[in-house]
């Protein structure tokens, strides 16, 4: 296991956050705004539908404390104002979130007891994403690795929360059906099926050998990947793309599902996971797939 967390955070945030310096400034006054805002978000887990609802905001998760093992759909609502996601990490060997935090402060690979288990990838503020995962029983932690504003990962500001997955007494859910399959490999997205306009259920398989993620972005009208890359180098002004979710980093051999609703426009699939060998984001190794929806 490698140590991709910081870089994922930097790149994901730089590339996808709908926040600029303006947003960062706004964040300072967020507690005031939130004081008069609508009732608190409601997290839940319904063992019948096997849907877990998670709300993310600056800087906390509202989420169920426990779910049962099996296929579960994680529905993430980003209440903003910044970009957030849910990276699930399974903690084996009795390790805790505190142990993980300590391990992440040290250089070098993450210990083998910390297993990347996916999660709903980042939707732009005010939007939603989902991920359907088949989780084994165990102790997990939910993290937000986004580090805007200020370059400090959100998990260090409170976006870290334990999730207990208990052995299922009843239903372990059903594996979703899909109309599009995307295989993740070093370093490409192999799409089977058609990413046309409309709703899709997408099956994601990590064919390895490294961990990978998938994030769907929609380019703003008239913007190109070159604009996005330039903006990533120097994030000034509004981002030239919006974030539409996907599946957070998963181990090789993992199958997960997400849904998306595509409208005409220019899109890209991206993997920001830093490479095991040189630390560069996988997208710099070519793990970018652009497509057009007409
Ligand atoms: Cu966050």
Q: Could you read off the pLDDT of 113-151 as tens digits, one per residue?
A: 999 999 999 999 999 999 999 999 999 999 998 877 777
Rounded to an integer, what distance in angstroms lies between the CA atom of residue 5 and that of residue 274? Answer: 8
Give 144 Cα–ligand 1 centroid separation in angstroms. 5
Q: DSSP class of residue 108?
A: S
Does the pLDDT value for residue 174 go beyond 70? yes
Stronger pLDDT, 264 or 105, i.e. the higher one? 264
Identify the sign of the CA torsion 203, 229, 129, 116: positive
Give 43 Cα–ligand 1 centroid separation in angstroms. 16
Lowest mean pLDDT among 75-79, 124-128, 223-227, 233-237: 233-237
Does the pLDDT value for residue 3 go beyond 70? no
Give 123 Cα–ligand 1 centroid separation in angstroms. 11
pTM of the model: 0.85
Structure confidence at residue 77 (pLDDT): 97
Are the C-beta atoms of 69 and 168 separated by less than 8 Å? yes
Does the pLDDT value for residue 290 go beyond 50? yes
At 108, the pLDDT band (50, 70, 90 cuts) reads: low
Mean pLDDT of the chain, nearest integer: 85
Give 196 Cα–ligand 1 centroid separation in angstroms. 30
Lowest mean pLDDT among 14-18, 53-57, 152-156, 209-213: 14-18
Structure confidence at residue 272 (pLDDT): 86
Give 160 Cα–ligand 1 centroid separation in angstroms. 9
Closest CA to 216 of 145, 177, 281, 265: 265
What number of other Cβ atoms are within 10 A of residue 200's Cβ?
A: 17
Distances in whole angstroms, Cα of residue 24 to Cα of each of 21, 81, 108, 216, 226: 5, 9, 31, 24, 25
- H-type alpha helices, 170-234: 225-233
State mean pLDDT over 254-283.
93
Give 193 Cα–ligand 1 centroid separation in angstroms. 32
Give 81 Cα–ligand 1 centroid separation in angstroms. 9
Residue with the two structure tokens 């978000």: 41
Does the pLDDT value for residue 4 go beyond 50? no
pLDDT > 90 fraction of the chain, expressed in percent and rounded: 67
Give 194 Cα–ligand 1 centroid separation in angstroms. 31
């Amino acid at each position: 296991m490698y140590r991709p967390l910081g870089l994922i955070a930097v790149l994901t945030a730089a590339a996808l956050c709908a926040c600029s310096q303006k947003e960062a400034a706004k964040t300072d006054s967020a507690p005031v705004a939130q004081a008069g805002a609508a009732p608190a978000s409601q997290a839940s887990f319904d063992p019948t539908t096997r849907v877990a609802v998670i709300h993310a905001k600056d800087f906390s998760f509202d989420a169920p404390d426990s779910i049962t093992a099996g296929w579960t759909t994680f529905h993430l609502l980003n209440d903003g104002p910044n970009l957030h996601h849910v990276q699930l990490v399974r903690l084996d060997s009795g390790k805790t979130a505190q142990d993980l935090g300590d391990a992440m402060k040290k250089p070098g690979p993450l210990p083998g007891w910390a297993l990347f288990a996916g999660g709903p990838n980042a939707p732009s503020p005010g939007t939603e994403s989902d991920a359907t995962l088949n989780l084994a029983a165990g102790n997990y932690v939910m993290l937000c690795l986004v580090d805007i504003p200020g370059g400090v990962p959100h998990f260090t500001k409170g976006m870290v929360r334990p999730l207990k997955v208990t052995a299922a007494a009843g239903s372990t859910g059903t594996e979703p059906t899909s109309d599009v399959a995307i295989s993740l490999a070093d370093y490409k997205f192999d799409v089977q099926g058609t990413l046309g306009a409309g709703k899709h259920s997408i099956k994601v398989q990590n064919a390895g050998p490294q961990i990978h993620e998938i994030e769907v972005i929609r380019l703003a009208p008239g913007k190109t990947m070159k604009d996005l890359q330039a903006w990533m180098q120097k994030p000034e002004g509004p981002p030239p793309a919006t974030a539409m979710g996907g599946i957070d980093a998963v181990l090789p051999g993992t199958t997960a599902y997400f849904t998306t609703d595509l409208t005409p426009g220019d899109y890209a699939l991206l993997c920001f996971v830093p490479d095991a060998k040189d630390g560069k984001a996988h997208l710099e190794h070519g793990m970018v797939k652009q497509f057009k929806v007409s």
